[in-house]
Structure 1
Amino acid sequence: MYSQFGDLLNACKVFDEISHPCIVEYNAMLDAYAKNGDMGSACFLFKSMPKRDVVSWTSVINGFAKNGLLGEAIKLFREMMLHDDVKCCFVKPNEATYVSVLSSCANLDERGVLCIGKQIHGYKVRNEVFVTVFIGTALIDFYGKVGCLSNAIRVYNQMVVKKVCTWNAIISSLANNGREEQALDMFKKMKGDVCVLMRSPLLLYLLLVLVPSL
C-alpha cells in the first residue's frame, strides 16, 4: 500500500516487522523498490530470498527496464533462463517477463541485441509459448526497431487478435524502415474500426509526418 504512494520508508518499516516474510511479501517489497527506483536494494533483497517465483524475477527485470537499466534487465533475464528452477520447469517466464526483456532489447543501442531477441523468440517457438497480443506486439516493436522488418511483418501476419498497440507497432515499424507507403496502406486497414482510430496516436503521426513525405 505504502509503495503505491512512493512512501518507500514506511513500506520498508512494515516489511522489516515481518519475522518470516512469505514470497508474496518479498515480491511486494521488490515491486516497491523497483517503482521507487531503488534497484540496488531490490537486487540485494532478491539475492537474499530463500525462494523465487516468476513474479520475483519479473519484478526485478521490469524494474531494471523501467529505470533505464536495459542491459541489466537483459542480463538478469539470461541468468533466469540458466537457473535450475527454469531448466526444471518449476519457474517459467510469463507475458510480463517477455514484454519487459523484449522492450529492453528494442531500446538498447548495442551490438548483439538482435541475436538475443531472436533467441527469446526461438525459445518461445520451441516451447510452444502462446503468443499473446502484448508479446506479439513487443516482438513487432523489437524487430522493427532493430531493422528486421521481415520478421516484424511475419509476426504481425501470424497474430489472430490485434489491438491498438499492435497496429501502432507495425505501422511505426514500416514507417521507420522507409516503407511509408506500406505504412499508409496498413493505416487504411484500420479505418473500419473507429474505436481503434480514436485511440491511436498514429493518426496524428501519419497526418503530420508520413503524408507530407509522399
Structure 2
Amino acid sequence: MPDQSSDLDWRDEIPVSTRFDDPYYSLENGLAETAHVFLAGNGLPGRFREGFHIAELGFGTGLNLLAALRLWRASGQGARLHFTTFEAFPLSPAEMTRAQASFPEIADLATELAPHWGRTHFDLADLRFEMIEGDARQTVPRWDGLADAWFLDGFSPAKNPELWDAELMAQVARHMTAGGTAATYTAAGHVRRALADAGLEVTRAAGYGRKRHMTTALKPSRSG
C-alpha cells in the first residue's frame, strides 16, 4: 500500500485529508457519528442476520468497520459479517492505527485487526473483509456483490463530488438487496435526488451533532 502521508494532516489527532480539505470523521466524536449515521441509520443491529453484507464508499480510517464489527459481536451474532469497502486513496496502516487510537472503546478490537491493515482481503471467524481499490465510479459497476446496507461515507459532496454523482448512486441502488438500505451523513439535495431517481425511498433524518439532517434510503422489496 502506498504511503499517503503527504495527503494527510492532523488536527488534535483527527486525520484531515489535504487532498479534499475535509476531516475523515466528525470533529466532535467520530465513533458516535458512525453509530448514529451508519449503524442506526441502517437499522442495525436489528437487521443483522446470517450472511449480512455491508458495503461502503470510503474506507478511510477503518472506523466504520470497527464499529460495525463491535456491534455484530455485541448483538450475539454467531455467523460471519461480510464487509466490502471501496477506497481510492487508502491510508497507511500506521495512519489508521494513529486515528483509531483516539477511541479507547474499540482499543481491543483495533489491536486485533491492526495486523491486517494494508491487506485487501482477510478473514476472521466472524468477518470476511474486502477492500476494492480505485475510483468507485469504475469499481462499483464491476462488483458482483449485493449489499444489505450501504455506508455512503465519502468526503463532503462539495469537496469530493465524484463519489456522489448520480450514476454512482444508481450503481449503489443496483448493488443493494431488495429491502436493503443506505445511510449517509449528508442531506445534500442532489444526493437525495440521485438516490430517489435510482428507485430508492429516501428519508431525511436527524443528523449527528451540528449536522441538522442526514439521509437514509430503502430499496423496496420485490412484490408479485
The normalised TM-score by structure 1 is: 0.30
**Which structure: greater helix fraction?**
1
Higher relative contact order (CA 8 A, sep 6+): 2
**Which structure: greater strand fraction?**
2
